[in-house]
Amino acid sequence: MATYQYTARDSSGKEFCGTYRDISGVTALRAELDKIGYVLIHAQQERQKARRNTRIKDQDVVAFAYKFAGMYSAGLSVIACLETLERQTERHSLRIVIAEIRERIEVGTSLAKAFEPHKEIFSEFLVGMLEAGETAGKLAESLEMGAAYLEKRNQLQNRIKSAMVYPLAVGTVCLVVLTCLLLFVVPVFSKLYANMRVTLPWPTLILVTISNVLTRWAWLVLPVLAAGIWGLKRCLSDVRVRQGWDRYKLRMPVLGKLNRLILVARFVRPFAMLISVGVSVIDGLRIAGRIARNSEMTRVSKELQSATQAGSPVGRALEAHGLFPSVIIQMASSGEQVGRLAEMLTKGVDILDRDIETMIGALVVKIEPVLTLVTGAIIGLVLMGVYLPMFDYMAQLQ
């Protein structure tokens, strides 16, 4: 896909210039302009320039979605909403994306198709909601729900990140202290041990060996670390490795249950929102399965689609999989009976969100003393290894 600068003529014979992004070629550009009654005169491919500050934060996307929904609900046209947001947005990279979306809509592209090239930024769920809203005539409602979903997703990610701050901080401090001891303290004592000519106990021998390796080969640490990270990414990019990792995350000790609840919430909430604006149950399951970004959930989603197509109720289809907690199954069954499936599933996910918050809080409370004990034990073992030969030497002198 490329970007073209073009000159065209409208039905009155007036010439004008414009830019069209994400088009395969001049032929496709001419066809797009023909659809809206313009005649292409000249087109030239634009060289792609390197963009600075390409990182778009989640909170920027949430703010954009809420502003877009609010302005459209107030009666502004889609083009007017995007023009206003383009002027008001402070982040340069997001402004460029909004401009691209606006330009595509101005030449006749649908709203969902205009957002499609940027679904990695706005999520596949929001693109699906826009398409459903346009089709069902509920664009304002779809925008509101899309913004609410993005906010919920962002809040959950922030809660998880906040819970990881303390363990990461303690682990980093422990690693720094341990490295300093091995690089600066142990070598000094190692020279002292050599002058004392005492037999070193095995804990001290291990410390001295590690210290010598780090001192002599410290320049290799960063290249080895970088190579390890690169190798890990390559492994995770393999489909079979990724599938195995996705399955293990749901079964790992301590964190397995939390991971399952998070995954179910990430699947059920967008599914409920999609069907509430007119998306079919089959399409809702398909889109929600992709949004979850977990191969195990993608497999389950396909099985749910097959079961639903065969006439099975959603609640019974969910019950056939041990992944979904009972509250979601009960809410789905009750919702189908009274014709309020989307509403009941949303309430079920709200209950899951509270359970997730409780579990995260409980894990943090349990992790703090464990990390403190582990850190103290590691540093204590290092210091014991350093001072053991001194105690032996003092005993010999007596």
pLDDT of 18-48, one tens digit each? 777 667 677 787 888 888 788 888 777 665 4
Confidence of residue 54 (pLDDT cuts 50, 70, 90): low
Confidence of residue 93 (pLDDT cuts 50, 70, 90): confident
How many other CB atoms are found less than 10 A from the CB of residue 115?
A: 25
Mean pLDDT of the chain: 83
Task: Give pTM, 2 decimals.
Answer: 0.70
Asked whether residue 113 carries a pLDDT value surpassing 80, the answer given is yes
What gap in Å lies between CA 323 and CA 297, rounded to an integer? 9
How is the chain split into domains, by residue range?
A: 2-46, 165-398
Structure tokens at 119: 């679904």
Q: b/e per residue, 26-62, with b = 16+ CB within 10 A?
A: beebbebbeeeebebeebeeeeeeeeeeeebebebbb
Confidence of residue 398 (pLDDT cuts 50, 70, 90): low
Which strand ranges, in their side-by-side order, compose the sheet holding 15-23? 15-23, 2-9, 39-46
Confidence of residue 246 (pLDDT cuts 50, 70, 90): confident
Give the residue-averaged pLDDT of 51-57: 59
With contact defined as beta carbons under 8 Å apart, do 317 and 305 qualify?
Answer: no
Confidence of residue 278 (pLDDT cuts 50, 70, 90): confident
Which segment, 129-138, 196-205, 303-312, 366-375, is predicted with the most confidence on average? 303-312
Q: What is the pLDDT of residues 10-21, one digit of tens each?
A: 888 888 777 776
What's at 22, amino acid-wise? D
Confidence of residue 52 (pLDDT cuts 50, 70, 90): very low
Asked whether residue 228 carries a pLDDT value surpassing 60, the answer given is yes
